[in-house]
Amino acid sequence: MKKLGILTLITTILMSSTFVYADDIPMSNIKQLSLDLAITEAIKNSNDIKTSDLDIEIKEIELDQAKRNEKKYKDLDYSLGTIEGFQLDSNMLSKKAKYALEEEKIKKDYKIENLKYNVTKYYYLTLQARDYLNVANSNLENIKRNRDEAKKKFNLGMTSKSDVIMAEISLDEAKSSVEKAKLNFEKALRALNITLNYPLDTRFKFTSNFSEQSFNTDLNKDLEKAYEVRFDIVQLNHNYDLVKLDFETNSIKYPSNTYNYKYKERAVSKVGNILNDAKRGVEFDIRSKYDAIYNAKKQIDLSKSNVERAQEALRLRELAYNSGMGTLLEVKQATTQLYTAKVDVSRALSNYNLSILEYDKAVNIGTIK
């Protein structure tokens, strides 16, 4: 799948400024930030990840303790003849602790993937907000040009005063849009800084392009992989193994006509049914996210086409107005359509790239509650 720079047709407008919006900020106070570096910094600065490392260490201690207790029991060279003894003899304690350790490591991976997603999301949203600001400034320049043309025609007696008033109103609206875009940019920047665990007033020079990511995968292979590695499926498999082992150790003491045997036997069947239902849910989840990616890709193509059409429409409306064949209102409407079309491209690119991250997370991590 080919790469796409953020709207090739309007690169000179959207990418005209690599720096964040800021008034009189020295270069020494602006950090260079790529998307990869942002992800690395967020992981390094995350207290949640550090907590996960401690949780993993605790599970490792619990596993070592379980193995030690099982070894002490086996060194006795005789059986207690109890359920607890049978479970010690079958290494149930260490197996349970091992599964808990594996799940804790997957939880850490989930936190990392979730953090990657959030960093990417807010990095893109900040780029998107910057692009909105650039588009708003470009729109302001268009409106100023239209206002100046209206004044010129009024002075020559070629148009009415109402056109000049309408142009001034449009100019005020465009200025308001720029101020709103500045405010939205500052909000997006603060959200990115929070995710990176940086001071909220940190400024950046963004070095990663807002580009369309490639996506080429085998859905069926991804489904098979998800059945093996997703946390929710791994956890259910662990539960199934432990419940089954609990049933087997109990069945040594309790015959099939006892309540205990029947209860344990049905518990195994219950977990098995839950596991089968979960696999169907996983398939639905992944297929839905797969479809979402291709729908997002179509939105990119559509938004690019809309920009081309809007640019041509504005050109024709301006020509018509300048030759006395059109109205200023028509020019204003065409300008607004172009502004909206450009903004939609940034939004479509962001949604597409985030859809890919959602899909990858669904395949490799799944749901953790």
Supply the angle between the helices 328-364 and 219-229 in degrees, to the nearest 10: 50
Q: Which residue has better confidence, 70 or 34?
A: 34
- Please give the residue range of the domain that contains residue 350: 31-364
Instruction: Classify residue 22: in a domain, yes or no.
Output: no
Instruction: Classify residue 12: in a domain, yes or no.
Output: no
Q: What is the pLDDT of residue 7?
A: 32
Instruction: Classify residue 24: in a domain, yes or no.
Output: no
Q: Is residue 205 within 8 Å of 19, Cβ to Cβ?
A: yes
- What percentage of the chain has pLDDT greater than the value 90? 38
Supply the angle between the helices 161-196 and 92-155 in degrees, to the nearest 10: 160
- What percentage of the chain has pLDDT greater than the value 70? 89
Kindly indicate the confidence band of residue 213, based on its pLDDT and cuts at 50, 70 and 90.
confident
Q: Is residue 185 within 8 Å of 109, Cβ to Cβ?
A: no
Which of 19-28, 175-184, 240-249 ranks highest by mean pLDDT?
A: 175-184
Q: What is the pLDDT of residue 270?
A: 93
pLDDT > 90? residue 135: no
Which residue do the tokens 């007696």 mark?
157
Instruction: Classify residue 11: in a domain, yes or no.
Output: no
Q: How far is Cα 14 from Cα 132, in angstroms, rounded to an integer? A: 8
Residues 6+ apart with CB under 8 A from 298: none
Q: What is the pLDDT of residue 81?
A: 62
**What would the mean pLDDT of 339-357 be, rounded to a whole number?**
86
**What would the mean pLDDT of 129-153 be, rounded to a whole number?**
86
Beta-strand (E) ranges in the chain? 30-33, 203-206
Q: How far is Cα 177 from Cα 135, in angstroms, rounded to an integer? A: 10
Q: How far is Cα 97 from Cα 67, in angstroms, rounded to an integer? A: 9
Domain count, the chain: 1
pLDDT > 70? residue 17: no
Instruction: Classify residue 140: in a domain, yes or no.
Output: yes
pLDDT in tens, 27-46: 557 889 999 999 999 999 99
Q: Which two tokens stand for residue 281?
A: 């849910």
pLDDT in tens, 225-258: 999 888 888 888 888 988 988 888 888 888 899 9
pLDDT > 50? residue 147: yes
Instruction: Classify residue 16: in a domain, yes or no.
Output: no
Q: Which two tokens stand for residue 305?
A: 């086409």
State the pairing for strand pair 203-206/30-33.
Answer: parallel
Instruction: Classify residue 97: in a domain, yes or no.
Output: yes
pLDDT > 50? residue 49: yes
Q: What is the pLDDT of residue 10?
A: 31
Q: Which amino acid appears at position 29 of this protein?
A: N
Q: Which two tokens stand for residue 177?
A: 């849009």
Question: Which phi and psi angles does 4 have, rounded to 5°?
Answer: -135, 115
Kindly indicate the confidence band of residue 1, based on its pLDDT and cuts at 50, 70 and 90.
very low
b (16+ CB within 10 A) / e for 36-74 = ebbbebbbeebeeeeebeebeeebeebbeebeeebeebe
Q: Which of 69-83, 145-159, 194-208 has the lowest mean pLDDT?
A: 69-83
pLDDT > 60? residue 3: no
Residues 6+ apart with CB under 8 A from 228: 234
b (16+ CB within 10 A) / e for 268-307 = beebeeebeebbeebeebbeebbebbeebbebbeebbebb
Q: How far is Cα 20 from Cα 188, in angstroms, rounded to an integer? A: 11
**What would the mean pLDDT of 83-106 be, rounded to a whole number?**
83
Supply the angle between the helices 231-253 and 219-229 in degrees, to the nearest 10: 50
Q: The domain spanning residue 227 has which CATH number?
A: 1.20.1600.10
pLDDT > 70? residue 342: yes
Instruction: Classify residue 10: in a domain, yes or no.
Output: no
Q: Calculate the average pLDDT of the chain.
A: 84
Q: What is the pLDDT of residue 291?
A: 95
Q: How many helices (H) and strands (E) does the chain have?
A: 10, 2
